[in-house]
Amino acid sequence: MTQTASLDSLRRSFLPFMIGLLAVLTVIVVVVAWWASAQPVLLTITAMMMSAVVALSAAATGASTATRHLSASAMMGLVGLLVFSASGTHLHIDLHMIFFAALAVVAGWCCWSSILVATGVVAIHHLGLNVVYPAAVFPDGADFMRVMLHAVVLVIEAGALALAAVQLTKAFSATEAAARQAANSAAAERQTEMVARQTRGLEHYRQQSLGEVVADFRTALIAIERQVDQETTSMQHTALALSRVADEARLHAGRAEVTASKTAQNVVSASAGAEELTVSINEIAGQSGQARSLIERMNQIAISTGQDVRHLAGLAEQIEAVIGLIKSIADQTNLLALNATIEAARAGAAGRGFAVVAAEVKALSNQTMKAADEIVGQIAAIQVSTSRTVASVEAIELATQEVASLTYSIAASVEQQNSATGEISRTISRVAEGSSVAHEVAATVSQATSDTQRYSETALRASEALKSVASDLAQSIAGFNDRVSVPAKERRNAMRVEINEAASLLVEGHDHPVTLIEISETGARIGRLPPLSQGRTVELRLGDGQRIAGTIVWIADGEAGIQLQSRLQHPALSSVTASLAA
């Protein structure tokens, strides 16, 4: 069976009474045991242990099922100990009435299981001791019929008490359900009233905020209209300036197109002339090459002639040496002829023939000497001519080398000129191509300027139309504002929701309980304030676990306003949002 909060509260309030009653009953057992001298030590220890176990369970688990069952068992056990301590006295049989009273006390738990446990303990007590130790139960010894009689009475009482406990539990459940239903009904009525009030507030807000919205809208559109007018005027001026610039650009583009055309023609002519110059320079380069070849051949011939003349000078010197030898031989021959003449003179007549021969030899030697002298003279003249020829050939060779060097320089210059002329020709070709492109670009620019002028005229007409539209828009806004404008108030009043809800406020690490009086999505009004100061940063903690940082913005009359740093979510605000969306 489901336990209700009211029943739990009743059991918690009954727990101290049960603990106190067990303590009193324990004291009574101890007193009677010592008075009747019926094993007082054992009974005292047993009674105190029973009460202690119940007290420990109550301290640990409160009015739980275990505590209720232990207390019911301890209650019946202490009554059994009390009956045992009074055995042998005239009160022995009368104390059995306490079992029935104790069972009625156990019913105070409103727990049928506790009543059943107490009944079971009594049954075990009577049946067990009636067999094991009858004197502890009845003064006249074992009496099964008396045990049955007590059992029937106890069962009847236990049944009645259990039925009462069940009915009482049901009554508590029904009462609590009715209370919850009533509370829910009251809450629903309050919620309905709050939603209705919020709806009215929202409707009022809509009516009030409409004027503010329209006024803001009108102000914004007036500013836009002024800006559009300014921009339109600026656009007109720009379009006019653009049109003038387009006219000038078209004029200059036409001139540029004509100039580019003439330039292209001139460049084509220059390109043709450069090509002809290239051909001429190529021919000059060829002729320079041929002249260089001829000069090289002349240089080779001059070198060869010089070598031959030098060789001839050498032969002349050799001939001179041979003639010197001939002269020396002629001198010796003349000397021999002289000796032969002397010897022939000595010989006399026998030597006349030899003298004649000697005379002939001498005459021949003289002729040889004369011929040798003439040859020497001719050779000297030849040597002089040869020396002059060698000097001339060397001069010709040197001049040929200088002419060859100059020819090489001319050929190199012609080649450089040929390269430069080729580069000029290529450059002129590229310039010709660039001039053609420039001519095309000039034509394109001329077309673009014509298009620009056409577009500027279109922009000018559009700016005039836009200015007219802006004027119509300003008139429409003014008419709209006149029809729907209403007095404006602060919109935040309609978005506030009044509640009465517990919360807590974290201030400098300490959590303080507060009461939420009024909330909105971005703020809250709280009561039951802790020590606060304006401008302090706090953290609002709601019952559903939300934690939102905020700042205290005002404090007055025991209340404070918090500006929240993030959006607050609450069922009451959700209903306002739903009503606003509807």
Average pLDDT, the chain: 74
pLDDT of residue 538: 94
Confidence of residue 505 (pLDDT cuts 50, 70, 90): very high
Q: What is residue 495's three-state secondary structure?
A: coil
Residue 41 scores a pLDDT above 80: yes
Residue 112 scores a pLDDT above 60: yes
Residue 217 scores a pLDDT above 80: no
- Hey, CA dihedral for 419, 423, 426, 428, is it positive or negative? negative
Other CB atoms within a 10 A radius of the CB of residue 307 amount to 12
CATH 3.30.70.2700 fits 307-434, yes or no: no
- Fold match between domain 307-434 and domain 497-580: no
* 122-126, 156-160, 231-235, 552-556: least confidently modelled range: 231-235
pTM of the model: 0.33
Mean of pLDDT values over 232-251:
66
Class (C level, CATH) for 497-580: mainly beta
Which of 521, 511, 508, 531 is closest to 562 using CA atoms? 521
CA dist 373 → 323, 332, 381 (Å): 8, 16, 12
Domain boundaries, the chain: 7-142, 307-434, 497-580
Residue 23 scores a pLDDT above 80: yes
pLDDT digits (tens, 9 = 90+) for 114-148: 888 888 888 877 776 666 666 566 666 556 666 67
User: When comparing pLDDT for 517 and 3, which is higher?
Assistant: 517
Highest mean pLDDT among 12-16, 208-212, 345-349, 486-490: 12-16
pLDDT digits (tens, 9 = 90+) for 425-436: 677 677 666 666
- The long-range contacts involving 141-150, CB below 8 angstroms and separated by at least 24 positions, are 150/96, 150/99, 150/126
pLDDT digits (tens, 9 = 90+) for 309-351: 677 777 767 777 777 777 788 788 878 777 777 877 777 776 6
Provide DSSP, 127-175.
Answer: HHHHHH-GGGT-TTS--HHHHHHHHHHHHHHHHHHHHHHHHHHHHHHHH
pLDDT of residue 560: 92
